[in-house]
Amino acid sequence: MAWTMLIIAGLLEVVWAVSLKRTNGFTALWPSVLTIVAMLGSFFLLARAMVTLPTGVAYAAWVGIGAIGAALVSATFMGERLTPVQVLFLALIAGGIVGLKLATPPASTPADSVSAG
C-alpha cells in the first residue's frame, strides 16, 4: 500500500509542477488553487508512504516520478522539446525507481518495530 500511495503522490507532484508554471507567480487564481491542492495531497501521501518506506527510497522515487512525469507532460501537451539524450536519462531515472522498488524489502509497520524492541 505504501508504494501505491507513493506513486499517487508522485503523480500529484506532476500535477502541481505543471500547474505551477500556469500560476504566473501565483497571480492566476485557479491554477494557483490547483497547484496548492495538488501539493498538499502529494505531501500528505508522501508522508503516509514514509511511515513504512525508508525516507531516502521514498523521497528519491517521489522526485523521480515527478521529474519524469513533468517532463513528459510538458513535452506532450505544452510544446516543450525533449532530445533523445534527455529521453535516455529520463529512462535511466525510471529504471532507478524500479530498482529501488525491487531492492527495498517489504516494510514493517512502526508497531512491528516497537513490539520487537
Q: Quote the CA–CA distance of 15 and 34 in Å, as a whole number.
A: 8
The answer to whether the beta carbons of residues 70 and 110 sit under 8 Å apart is no
| The pLDDT value given to residue 109 | 57
| The pLDDT value given to residue 105 | 86
Say if residue 106's pLDDT is above 80: no
Looking at every residue in the chain, the average pLDDT score rounds to: 92
For 80: left if phi > 0, alpha if psi spans -120 to 50, otherwise beta; the answer is beta
pLDDT in tens, 66-84: 999 999 999 999 999 999 9
Say if residue 102's pLDDT is above 90: yes
**pTM of the predicted structure, to 2 decimals:** 0.85
The DSSP code sequence of 58-91 is: HHHHHHHHHHHHHHHHHHHHS-----HHHHHHHH
